Structures are given as C-alpha cells and as structure tokens.
C-alpha cells in the first residue's frame, strides 16, 4: 500500500537525519588519519642534553643563590649521563654534599658520600668534601660533629688543609667556645700548617658576632705580631665593629693600621659618614657617637658643625654635663657659633647641681691659667645656668670676671643676666642692665625684648611706674 502523504514526509525527514550521521561518519576517517600527523607536527623536539660542563655551571649558579634543592635536582639529572669509567668533578660533588648537609643534615650527606664512592670506584673524597659537609655545623655551633668530621678525614689518610681548620674555627666561635677555637691554632702548628691571614680573621669575626670585642682585639694584636697583616678592607670592617662594640683600643689600632697602609683618605671619608648615621640613633646608642667622634679627633679629621653639635647631645644622653660643656668650647675653637638651643640645654644640665656650675667655671679658669683663649659663649652658658639656679650673685660674679678673661659682653651675655633678674624678680637690676646695654651700644634681639616684657610683668605697680 502506498503510505499517506504525511507519513511519506515524516519518513523522508527521518531518512535525511539518518543520512547525515552516515555522511559525517564517512568523512571522519580522513580526519582521524590526519590527527597523528598534526600531533607529530605539534610535538616539541626532544630536549638537547646539556654537557657536563654546562650542568656544572648551573650547579655553581644555584649554589651562589643558595638554591640547594635545585643543586640536588640538577645532580640527579647528571647521574644518568656518566658513563662507565667516568666520575663527577670534585667541585660538583662538594656542592652536592654541602647542599645535602644543609637541607637534610650531616648523616645524610655522609651517606651520599658513601653511595658516590660505591658507584664511582675512581672517586675519593678530599679535605674539601669534609669542609663542604662541615658547613652545616656552623650555624648551630656543632663543634662535636665538626671534630668528628675532622677525625674522619684524618682516618681516611687525607691531609688536613687551611680550609678545614678555618671552618672548624668558625664552628667553635659560633658555639662561643673561644678557648677551643684558639686551641685549633696550636693544632695547626703541630701539623706544620701555619695560620694564614684569613685564619685569624675567622676567629676575629666570630668574636665580633658574639660581641666579644676584647677577644677580637687580643687576636688582632697576635695577628699583627706574627706578621699576618690585615688588608685595608679588613681594617675598615674591624674598625666599624670596634666602634659598634665601643672598644677604644681596638678602634685606635685599626686607625693606626689604616694609616700604615696609606688608606687614611678612605678613613677621612668614612668616619664622618658613619658619624652622621650614628647621630640618627644618638638617644639609643650615644656611646657609638662618642666613639666615632674620638676616632675622628684621633685621626685629625675635621668634623662638620652639625656633627659637632650632635656630640653635645651624646654627652647629655650619657649624663656627662661637663663634657657636654667642654664640647661647646670645642665648637667655638673650631670657628663655629654654638646653636642657642643647645647652649640652653647644656645650661639646664649644669644647673642640676650648683657644683656642676662651679666645675664648668673651673674648666674655663684652667684654660686662662694655661694661656688659652676662653670663648665668650662658654661664659654665657654658665651665666644662663646661674639664671636657672636663680642665683643672682653667682651670675653677676661671673659677669664681673669677663674683663679678667679678656672678653666683652654681647647680647647673649645680657640676655642671660636679664633672665637671671626675671627668675629672681630683680626689677632694678634688670633695668640697670638694659641701660648698660644701651650705653654699650649693644643692639637688643627678640629674646632681649621678650625678657624685658617678662621683667615688667613680674614687677610691682610702683616698679613699673619707675621703669616708665
């Protein structure tokens, strides 16, 4: 029977739908066949095998960057490239042993050393290999393990060298066993190995890390006595450490060493720079400022004005008011004018005790006796201290000594005297001072007018009328 028209239409659509997958299926084989070729075209070329020398350079770079895990991974790649009868370079093995010791510990590094010896019959560990493993003992100061490695080296029939002893000194110093570290010098001499410059420096640097400046100084003395002379850079670094640790003798010894090496120019540039840096922390470390300043004076370095004023603050932080006062005198001798604020600060420190004011005056009296000029700003500081003490008699007595010192008062002198009158409410004396200023043709400054106003405010009504 002939199907209805609707069924015929439905059947034709179904047939068409069935035909499309069939056509796609027929077209698929060529695509599938081409897929392997495309994949082959996209596949990267096989990695080029690096030479042993190139891999060694990679390991060296990784060691410099302290990428110890990368060192071990690179060496694993290298192992597959060694042919029978060959062996890795000693430098590569030492780098691998050090990396293993630092990441997994000394036992793991020694186990690796045994495995390498088993795999490469021609390989034999040298002193440098034990030095590499010993690096893991430095941070923790594991002198017991370091000594064991040293004994293992000797038991293997290999001779110890400077590197093994230098590393052992670092380990002992890290553990703060300085007597043990010093004994290593004796062991070296017993084995006919003379300590080198770097051997002494290893000990000295270990002392600096432990803040043992006196031990470092003693070893530096021994170093120079045995003609193991430090270099210019060595002296510079030690100088900075001695300054930091406030060791005067060591600091001066480094200065003398730099002079002997002809490097005083470097020192003249370095000390002011260090002094400026130290002044940023003058409250926390005033001794460092004073130590650097003393070094500058010893070396004959001209210290800038700002840094000289900073030394005053360092003495104040150290509760040394007389030395702070003497620094004011030094500033004047250098041709500088002391900053008024600093002069006032020193006066405040002196007035804590009346005896301190007397001591400051005796400093100037001693200079006059020795025929040395006395700077007027120093006298003004003493008068200002008397003002803060509210001691009118002492202030005017000091003023009366100006002629004996060969000095004439200036506006700062009269300001200090006026301040004394204000503090003691001596209106009449203050007015007489103002008249003396006018007679001496000393021009008043802002402070003078301020003190005159303060004087009038403290005066009685009758005294104000008289002043007018």
pLDDT value of position 392: 94
pLDDT value of position 465: 55
Q: Which residues contact residue 390 at a Cβ distance below 8 angstroms, ignoring those fewer than 6 apart?
A: 420, 423, 424
Give the model confidence (pLDDT) of 59-102 as tens digits.
999 999 999 999 999 999 988 888 888 888 999 999 999 999 99
Token code pair at residue 377: 């700003």
pLDDT value of position 4: 43
pLDDT value of position 459: 65
422 contacts 454 by C-beta, under 8 angstroms: yes
Closest CA to 155 of 125, 119, 193: 125
Low-confidence ranges of the chain (pLDDT < 50): 1-47
User: If you search the block for the tokens 């002939």, which residue do you land on?
Assistant: 2
Mean pLDDT for all residues in the chain: 86
What ranges do the domains of the chain cover? 230-299
343 contacts 413 by C-beta, under 8 angstroms: no
Token code pair at residue 217: 């100084």
pLDDT value of position 462: 60
pTM listed for this prediction: 0.67
């Amino acid at each position: 029977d002939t199907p209805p028209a609707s069924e015929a239409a439905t059947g034709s659509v179904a047939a068409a739908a069935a035909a499309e997958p069939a056509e796609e299926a027929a077209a698929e084989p060529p695509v599938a066949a081409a897929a392997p070729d495309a994949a082959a075209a996209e596949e990267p070329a096989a990695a080029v095998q690096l030479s042993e020398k190139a891999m060694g350079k990679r390991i060296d770079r990784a060691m410099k960057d302290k990428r110890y895990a990368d060192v071990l991974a690179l060496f694993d790649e290298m192992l597959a490239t060694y042919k029978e009868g060959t062996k890795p370079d000693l430098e590569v093995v030492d780098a691998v042993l050090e990396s293993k010791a630092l990441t997994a510990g000394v036992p793991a590094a020694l186990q690796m050393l045994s495995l390498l010896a088993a795999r490469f019959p021609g390989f034999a560990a040298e002193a440098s290999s034990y030095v590499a493993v010993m690096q893991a003992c430095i941070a923790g100061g594991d002198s017991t393990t370091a000594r064991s490695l040293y004994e293992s080296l000797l038991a293997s029939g290999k001779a110890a060298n400077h590197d093994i002893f230098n590393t052992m000194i670092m380990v002992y110093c890290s553990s703060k066993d300085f007597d043990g570290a010093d004994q290593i010098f004796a062991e070296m001499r017993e084995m006919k190995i003379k300590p080198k410059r770097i051997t002494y420096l290893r000990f000295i640097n270990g002392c600096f890390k432990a803040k043992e400046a006196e031990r470092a100084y003693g070893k530096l003395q021994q170093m120079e006595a045995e003609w193991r002379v430090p270099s210019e850079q060595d002296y510079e670094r030690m100088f900075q450490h001695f300054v930091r640790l406030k060791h005067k003798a060591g600091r001066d010894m480094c200065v003398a060493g730099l002079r002997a090496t002809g490097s005083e120019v470097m020192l003249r540039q370095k000390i002011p720079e260090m002094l400026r840096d130290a002044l940023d922390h003058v409250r926390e470390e005033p001794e460092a400022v004073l130590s650097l300043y003393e070094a500058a004076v010893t070396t004959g370095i001209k210290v800038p004005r700002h840094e000289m004023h900073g030394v005053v603050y360092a003495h104040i932080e150290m509760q040394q008011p007389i030395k702070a006062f003497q620094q004011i005198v030094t500033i004047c001798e250098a041709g500088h004018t002391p900053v008024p604020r600093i002069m006032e600060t020193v006066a405040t420190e002196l007035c804590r005790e009346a005896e301190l004011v007397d001591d400051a005056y005796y400093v100037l009296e001693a200079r006059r006796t020795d025929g040395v000029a006395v700077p007027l700003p120093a006298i003004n500081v003493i008068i200002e201290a008397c003002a803060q003490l509210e001691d009118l008699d002492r202030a005017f007595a000091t003023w009366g000594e100006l002629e004996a010192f060969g000095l004439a008062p200036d506006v700062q002198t009269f300001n200090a005297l006026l301040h004394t009158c204000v503090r003691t409410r001596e209106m009449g004396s203050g007015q007489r001072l103002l008249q003396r200023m006018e007679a001496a043709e000393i021009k008043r400054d802002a402070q003078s007018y301020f003190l005159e106003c303060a004087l009038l405010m403290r005066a009685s009504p009758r005294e104000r009328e008289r002043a007018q």
